[in-house]
Structure 1
Amino acid sequence: MRRVCLTLPTDRACAATIRAVAEEAAYGARRFGVEVCLLILDSSGDQVLAEHREVVDALAPAPGVVVHHLDEAGQRRFLREVIARSGVAAPERVLDLMLPARASYGACTNRAFLIAEALGCASVHRRDSDSRYQYLDGEPVFPLQHELAHLGRRADEVAGLVSRSRLDPAYAQRPVALVGGSFVGEMSVDVAEIRRLDPGIYREVVGLSVPAGYPEIWRGNLIEESFRGAGTTPFTGDLTTLTRVAPTRVDMCNIGFDREVYARVPLPPATDTIGSDYFLIHLVHDARLPGVLHNRHIVNFHTGERRSDSGFLAYQLRLAKFLLSTPYFDAVYARMREAGDALLDAAGHVRADAVAESVRDSALLERTDNAERLDVLDRSYRKLGGRYAMAADLFAARRDQLLAEARTDMAEFAFLIDVWEPLTRAGAVAGAAHAR
């Protein structure tokens, strides 16, 4: 039986989301006759963790659904076993990258990838704790419908199942590597207040996320569309497109990857950096692997914690680190776009060595403009005043650290790519050993 992993990483209270994702898991198992491993990776504090355990224990059993709820202690035990089996160098360094002390969007998903390998899954499907499903005629609209229908199948087989195809026929023999949608509701990045307070400052800050050299008219459009997902239009019916999925059209709360991608290349493990988990979407696109874009968009919302003073400062720090990482990632993405088919080997598999080389080279780039980026943030946030001035103080106090981490994060990512395939192989072996 085909086995898939539907994962929900969380570090905050999300009882309603756990119940909703469990319902999606049951739907997937029932609709497609697969076994769905519902994997909840829980980094919450003790009280919230206990609440989540009660929620999980109260879930109604569903045929074909196996629930795995792992706290950080359980995740660490699994990682130590796999790292030891893999025989990779610097095991403690690897453990720190896989389960860092600080929040990491990429690392939590990498743990899901590795556990999915141990569970024998063919694909990983990610949801987020600050999202909900849309409804149509009283029924939830589950993205798993399209993810399970298309992932891993050859593009020429999928072409007859989707609403439309915009894929170059040259790639028709390649399997669908990614299926994704976006979100509706609140912006994925909490910058709406900046836009309300000062549209000019908003354009300057968000403009830091746009690659250098874009024509001004394109630059303006990208700034306008950034972090807005699919807008606010509600779901009324399915629209699916076979294509090379553009990274700007999908969100990591609403995505499924075939294991042929994530078993070869991980996500960047950078800490306190939003957007660090989008790397594989770029890789799939630039390697010219087929994908399916759908409109079963998830509803995004911002939690109360993010709106608190401490949550606000933490999130602004993550935004700043994202903006400092952007020049490095832009250099990698440019290399990958240029490489195109050369990112794949003769069998059509992603070449991890080629990706690692691009990432490693980016860490050697002299990024004098990053100091200027911090200057822009400092000047802009102090103009906004209030909590933004407090964030500017935080950036100033950590200026040297932030600039250094933007570079070292890339070097650490290259290192993790180098050891990733031994880790995934060891994960599979560990899973087989426990299954006996």
Structure 2
Amino acid sequence: MEPVHIIGAGLAGSEAAWQIARAGVPVVLHEMRPTVETFAHKSGDCAEMVCSNSFRSDDDVMNAVGQLHWEMRAAGGLIMAMADKHKLPAGGALAVDREAFSASVTAALKAEPLITIQSGEITELPTTGNWIVATGPLTSDALAGAIRGITGSEALAFFDAIAPIVHADTIDMSIAWEQSRYDKGETLEEQRAYINCPMTKDQYEAFIDALLAADKTEFHEGETAGYFDGCLPIEVMAERGRETLRFGPMKPVGLTNVHKPDEKAYAVVQLRRDNALGTLYNIVGFQTKMKYGAQTQVFRMIPGLQDASFARLGGIHRNSFLNSPTLLDDRMRMKRQPNLRFAGQVTGVEGYVESAAMGLLAGRMAAAQAKGQDLAPPAYTTSMGALVNHITGGAEAKTFQPMNVNFGLFPPVEEGRSGRRGRKDRYPAYTQRAKDDFNAWLAAQ
């Protein structure tokens, strides 16, 4: 049997390779790292997480991304299995020890006899064979040029920003305290998965002033791109209004300062555990385009971080994605060159889990094709089906932008199934219907 080839060993490519091999089909996984490096990656491991260490909510009853977690687990997904294995306390979220996670994904792929990992950059797209392109937001210039050559137009793009990581032992815990918002989490350890740094009104105003005045990375001449609203740099949020951050990542609600329990903070900066040892914490929602020198000055204005040492500072990079509603069919194939499937963030989904889920689907579809079969996507009443429906035709092509999974992509629940129409009843009806329909899709294979 001819192998399926995958370009890119990020979350999507790694998941695709796993699904193909589990279907009994050989696969060659091409990864340019470490031969060709990127500014954001720190290793040559597969499925390296570069922006955050969170897979977001793990609630599969009231949350669409939690339902997506459920579907990936039900489909035997490698990414979710390794995320569960290296889970960190994070309240109701699924956060992982990112280095242990990617190392385990890499080890699992290397141990699978049907998977061959080849290092080196792919610069051209073949016109024959069974290929999946899962190169992610940091697609190399050469390959991006090859993709543009096939699409006949410029791929859309936006800029994605990375949050900084702080060494835990440099956080002043006489000012900061451990607490998950609203004390979410079943155990005391989970409820203490976050460190909180409080601000008074004067401290907040001074922080906003410094943030707005700081030196920032600017776009290169001729580049035109916007930001994805789910991953805005904090400077862009601050430019939209001085109170924007206080109602976003710096909101003070659901938290009580153990040092001053009777005093309500005007704003709070949260840090989330980034590794199992608890030695590293990332600043939640603090993606930034500030230059490195400005970052250390501005972030040390945060009470509790005045002496902070940074394991990694924030950054910004160009994130290219296809106009998928125009270019891809519902099997995730390029209409003009159907030997190519696309998966992951390059298709116009946003988020680790969404990217991996598109890899899972592309892998199963490619494996079916290798066996002379055809696999349709799951119903768009499921999280995976809703995503693939959105990117391959459900979205308006003229205004297409990256999208996280959400219940707005689901068809309405029929009358009578959810009872009352409030979301407390509607969301469980969405997720129960999704589970039923996804199980039916799996059973039909």
TM-score of the superposed pair, with normalisation by structure 1? 0.29
Larger C-alpha radius of gyration, 1 or 2?
Answer: 2
Which one has more relative contact order, counting CA pairs under 8 Å at least 6 apart?
A: 2
